[in-house]
Amino acid sequence: MNPSIELLLEVLDQAFDAKGWHGTTLSGSLRGVGLKQAEWRPSPRRHSIRDLVLHTAYWKYVVRRRVLGETDRGGFARGPSNWPAAPERTDRAWKEDVRLLKRSHAALREVVAGLSPGALAHTSPSGAWTYREMIHGVAAHDLYHTGQIQLLKRLYAGR
């Protein structure tokens, strides 16, 4: 495999579910989180863990579609875009949201693994970012929200 593609896959995985020097991954931050904790908000206008799970799943979906050159709208399992709403407040639905995140990661990873090295320099339909920047950015996005989830878990425990 090309070293650039291999490195991007490593970065994606270290942010999501593989061992990384930085500590907890996005997937790891969700271990043991039940519905009540996932939906808790520190205040009414703040996001919950569940919001962050759906948000990160959505952006993995967006990056995958941009890299594939797909420009049509729609298709993500939840709406509205960017901050999708949870479909229902049940344990089953919460577990499905976590599975959606894992599927979004796997689908993005599959697309990245299939890229040619030259494709990394291509830009998104808007022309603002290269595929390399978007892929690296979605890993950073995972880590950013992992930190928020870890903080929310601590706040929830101390309330």
Report the predicted TM-score, pTM, of the whole model to 2 decimal places: 0.95
Domains of the chain: 3-157 (1.20.120.450)
- Per mean pLDDT, which range of 89-98, 118-127, 136-145 is the poorest? 118-127
- What are 45's two structure tokens? 């206008």
**Average pLDDT rounded to a whole number, residues 113-122:** 96
Asked if 48 and 41 touch (Cβ cutoff 8 Å), the reply is: yes
Q: Is the N-terminal amide bond of 42 cis, ω within 30° of 0?
A: no
Predicted local distance difference test score (pLDDT) of residue 39: 97
